[in-house]
Amino acid sequence: MLSFIDGKTDHYWKRLRRIDRSGFMPRAANLSPLVLEGRHPGGQLSTTTLVENYPGFPEGIDGPQLVLNMHKQAEKFGARFSYAEATDFDASNRHIRIKADDEWLDTEALIIASGASARYLGLENEQKLVGHGLTSCATCDGAFYKNVPVCVVGGGDSAAEESLFLTRFASKVYLIHRRDKMRASKIMQDRVFANKKIEPLWDTVVTEYIPDEKGEMRAVRLRNVKTNEERELAVASVFVAIGHDPNTKAFRRKLDMDSDGYLITKNLAESRHPGVFVAGDVADRVYKQAVTGSRLRLRGGHGRREIPERTGIRCLIARRAIVAFSCHSERSRGISNFSLQRPASNQRCFDFAQGDKNVKICDLTQFYSPLSGGVKRYLHEKIAYISNGSSDDAHVLIVPGSKTEVTTNARSRVYSIRSPLVSRSSRYRALLNLRAIEEILERERPDLIESSDPYQIGWKAIAAGRALRVPVVGFYHSHFPEAYLRGGTKFLGKRGTQRAMKLTRAYVRKLYNRFQATLVPSETLSDLLSEWGVRNVRPVRLGVNTGIFKPVPDDGAATRGSLGVCREQTLLLYAGRLAREKTQKHCSEHSEVLQQRGQNKFHLLVIGDGPQRNKVQKLQRRIGNVSWISYCADSCDLARYYRAANLFVHPSVQETFGLVALESQACGTPVVGIRGSYMDRIICHDQKSWAQKNSPDALADAIEDFSAKKLAALGRLPAGATERLYSWPRVFEELFCIYREVRANYRRF
């Protein structure tokens, strides 16, 4: 077998800029490669806004798009993709051995392309401030620092590129460099010096990070290396661009390295150990370009053909961090969660081998309304993606309904099982007929089951997966422990609530650790579940139909007229379920606060229904400047209301799905809300004016501050960013890669 490792997965590793062609060449040689991507597919290239120097793209190409193109090309030639982490390496005998997710595995050959990780300054509090104003990726985090001063540390091409990118958002960019001139290329220097937003600070180093009382970056302390003069510089964020360290920890003292840890090669791609090849940044300390990385990988791809051809062993390739895989394992049990398992038979090592690229997915959801809801939107967008896709994937959806029936089209079937209503207004029903679910799954025989609920359906899905010997994943649509227990504090008391939360955490661990993967639409919430002990968390992105939710046509005036909103009034929009767990009461109460302040310039439009509808009806009677639409099932109509609004009000700190916030931004309407939601990171514009406290008064203050801005101009940038990053096709491409990886890694014992 041939295996290939590319990239180290640690907390700071975000920026492996190189790309990999190793998956193409072995497949062209009929070697059936396996590509292991790590937990951060795409690496640094996926965070690069524009790649201008890769051959074949005269106008340049977005880094994420180039990654997707290469991923598709590798899949076309039969490459398969998966994840895991390599922590140790042993080449003391004929078989090369890699420790992957706590299990030793054997392979006949290996390509190491583990890349390099961003280097930081090593100052006090550095680890605590990463993600709180300290970062090494302007493309990832630049949009969070709009209209505030930031600084970039470094003097090379990377520092120049980061500085230029940040000028799109920041009010001022300080470029801090320890020398009196830059080391960047001439063209990059010219661009930096021509930009009036960038101010170089020569002969200067950062000696201290200064956080505020909330632990966010407030300033840095600087020292002039020539005069030793020190001063404090107020910045909201520090972007470090001072180079990279090679990810070679697993190979230290086992392969030849130079003093800085870069692997030493001969003939461009060969290590001193037979069967071990090296490619990319892990050995390239000079060029560090995508195109040169491809060249080295291409050579490695040719070189490793010799071993499989001599031995008759088919090859596996692992890309980016993580592992060499083999049919031989030291232990009797398989690798848990994301590692590939030992073969069920001698015919092939992986169930997801030759040509097994198409997947039948079955979605189960216990609570469902045909009228609206984020879960409904997600499920039907998935059906549309499969129906319109070029692959032969198939989809089965099982939901509660008014009667038992099945609707079929070319690639999908929707089973509706007669279920009782739990809300007459919203038409939500609860699926309780578990026997019917079992019969449908037996008939359909899906390749993968996805459960959307943490109740009976979740347990039933797990049991069905065992019986059918197929993997089951859970989608954590709602952070239900916090949403429901917070409201019960006044009944349970502080100690009772703490006890209930402890029991709920134990329940979450017990349930979600039985899934092969837990999909979570928030990185912050993913970290929280990991802290709770959920071992298989996979952050995923949300999506939006950018063909419908977009800033055009300009029909806002007509829509506002139909609502009776004056031209001078600021139209506020809330869309979502009217429920206590959504903190919808803030959406009503802030309107009363604004009215008491004499702010008649605001008009609130509420779209949605639920148990709290009476509060909206009472608000309509009291202050008048309120419109209520119980449901808007037509997405085109909903997009029209988004475009008509000046501000979308996001009143809940307990929101985990946040589709409405994305849809609003896609239509060019900015979002205002309360800081602390798990969805904060999907807001693509400045949040400095958002409410810091979870109260109606604080939300009213934030609305007043935001309304004083040029909202139309503020909404243009997030509209473009949402289209690029969150379109459903892009989101589902990533999600289906996870499905295939889970399918490939699964084995039921």
In the predicted structure, residue 47 carries a pLDDT above the cut 70: no
Average pLDDT in the 715-725 region? 83
**HEC-encoded secondary structure of 698-718:** HHHHHHHHHHCCCHHHHHHHH
As given in the structure block, the two tokens for residue 240 are 């470090």
Q: How far apart are CA 731 and CA 64, in angstroms?
A: 12
For the stretch 465-479, pLDDT in tens is: 999 999 999 999 877
Q: How far apart are CA 537 and CA 350, in angstroms?
A: 23
Average pLDDT in the 301-323 region? 37
pLDDT score at 83: 60
For the stretch 115-141, pLDDT in tens is: 777 788 989 888 788 878 898 878 767
Q: Which of 588-597, 687-696, 725-734 has the weakest average pLDDT? A: 588-597
Contact 280, 262 (CB under 8 A): no
Q: Which of 333-342, 449-458, 705-714 has the weakest average pLDDT? A: 333-342
In the predicted structure, residue 328 carries a pLDDT above the cut 50: no
Strand partners, 408: 413
Average pLDDT in the 143-165 region? 91
Average pLDDT in the 280-288 region? 65
Number of alpha helices (DSSP H) and beta strands (DSSP E) in the chain: 22, 34
pLDDT score at 94: 62
- CA 34, 37, 318, 76 torsion: positive or negative? positive
In the predicted structure, residue 651 carries a pLDDT above the cut 90: no
pLDDT score at 285: 59
Average pLDDT in the 449-464 region? 92
For the stretch 661-685, pLDDT in tens is: 889 999 999 999 888 766 677 888 8
560 vs 97, more confident = 560
Dihedral over alpha carbons 543, 548, 550, 551 (to 10 degrees): -160
354 vs 414, more confident = 414
pLDDT score at 535: 87
Q: What is the spatial order of strands in the sheet that 448-451 belongs to? A: 405-408, 412-418, 394-401, 360-364, 448-451, 472-475, 517-520, 537-539
Average pLDDT in the 175-198 region? 93
pLDDT score at 617: 83
Q: Which of 7-21, 47-61, 251-265, 610-624 has the weakest average pLDDT? A: 7-21
Q: End-to-end distance of the chain based on CA atoms, in angstroms?
A: 24
Are β-strands 626-629 and 602-607 bridged in parallel, bridged antiparallel, or unpaired?
A: parallel
In the predicted structure, residue 331 carries a pLDDT above the cut 50: no
The angle formed by the CA atoms of residues 280, 283 and 288, to the nearest 5 degrees, is 55
Element (H, E) at 100: strand 96-100
In the predicted structure, residue 741 carries a pLDDT above the cut 60: yes
Contact 207, 101 (CB under 8 A): no
pLDDT score at 181: 92
Strand partners, 136: none
Q: How far apart are CA 313 and CA 254, in angstroms?
A: 25
Of 542, 544, 548, nearest in space to 663 by CA: 544
51 vs 530, more confident = 530
In the predicted structure, residue 204 carries a pLDDT above the cut 90: yes
Residue ranges of the alpha helices (H) in 405-488? 434-444, 456-468, 480-486
Q: How far apart are CA 31 and CA 310, in angstroms?
A: 12
So which residues are the catalytic ones?
137, 140-141
Q: How far apart are CA 52 and CA 60, in angstroms?
A: 4
In the predicted structure, residue 20 carries a pLDDT above the cut 50: no
Q: Tell me the pLDDT band of 57, cut-offs 50, 70 and 90.
A: confident
pLDDT score at 352: 34
Contact 344, 433 (CB under 8 A): no
% of the chain exceeding 90 in pLDDT = 28
Contact 461, 364 (CB under 8 A): yes
Average pLDDT in the 190-219 region? 93
In the predicted structure, residue 169 carries a pLDDT above the cut 80: yes
**Rounded to 5 degrees, what are φ and ψ at 145?**
-125, 60
- CA 296, 299, 305, 310 torsion: positive or negative? negative
- DSSP result, 211-230: E-TTSSEEEEEEEETTT--E
705 vs 229, more confident = 229
pLDDT score at 462: 94
Q: Which of 326-340, 371-385, 623-637 has the weakest average pLDDT? A: 326-340
pLDDT score at 517: 93
Strand partners, 395: 361, 412
Amino acid 105 reads L
pLDDT score at 572: 92
In the predicted structure, residue 340 carries a pLDDT above the cut 60: no
Q: How far apart are CA 350 and CA 24, in angstroms?
A: 19
pLDDT score at 612: 78
Calculate the alpha carbon distances from 484 to 495, 539, 639, 661 in Å: 16, 23, 30, 22
The conformation of residue 93, written as its DSSP 8-state character, comes to S
Q: How far apart are CA 529 and CA 293, in angstroms?
A: 36
Q: How far apart are CA 300 and CA 276, in angstroms?
A: 10
For the stretch 527-551, pLDDT in tens is: 888 889 998 899 888 889 999 999 9
pLDDT score at 289: 54
Element (H, E) at 509: helix 489-512
Contact 604, 627 (CB under 8 A): yes
Contact 268, 299 (CB under 8 A): yes
- DSSP result, 654-701: S-S--HHHHHHHHTT--EEEBTT-TTGGG--S--TTSBSSSSHHHHHH
Q: Which of 63-67, 78-82, 121-125 has the weakest average pLDDT? A: 78-82
As given in the structure block, the two tokens for residue 413 are 């079937």
Average pLDDT in the 144-164 region? 91
Highest mean pLDDT among 65-74, 148-157, 324-333, 684-693: 148-157
Contact 537, 518 (CB under 8 A): yes
Average pLDDT in the 604-627 region? 83
616 vs 558, more confident = 558
As given in the structure block, the two tokens for residue 519 are 């999909």
How many angstroms separate the most distant Cα atoms in the chain? 84
pLDDT score at 294: 53
Of 390, 346, 323, 309, nearest in space to 25 by CA: 309
As given in the structure block, the two tokens for residue 646 are 């000046």
For the stretch 563-587, pLDDT in tens is: 988 888 899 998 887 776 554 555 6
pLDDT score at 80: 67
SS3 246: strand
Average pLDDT in the 260-276 region? 80
| Chain centre distance of CA 218 | 27
Strand partners, 671: 648
| Residues in Cβ contact with 591 at an 8 Å cutoff, skipping those fewer than 6 apart | 572, 602, 604, 619, 623, 625, 626
Domains of the chain: 2-115+246-311 (3.50.50.60), 126-242 (3.50.50.60), 360-543+731-745 (3.40.50.2000), 556-726 (3.40.50.2000)
Q: Tell me the pLDDT band of 52, cut-offs 50, 70 and 90.
A: low
pLDDT score at 319: 36
Mean pLDDT of the chain: 77
336 vs 554, more confident = 554
25 vs 634, more confident = 634
Q: How far apart are CA 571 and CA 670, in angstroms?
A: 12
Amino acid 486 reads R
In the predicted structure, residue 211 carries a pLDDT above the cut 80: yes
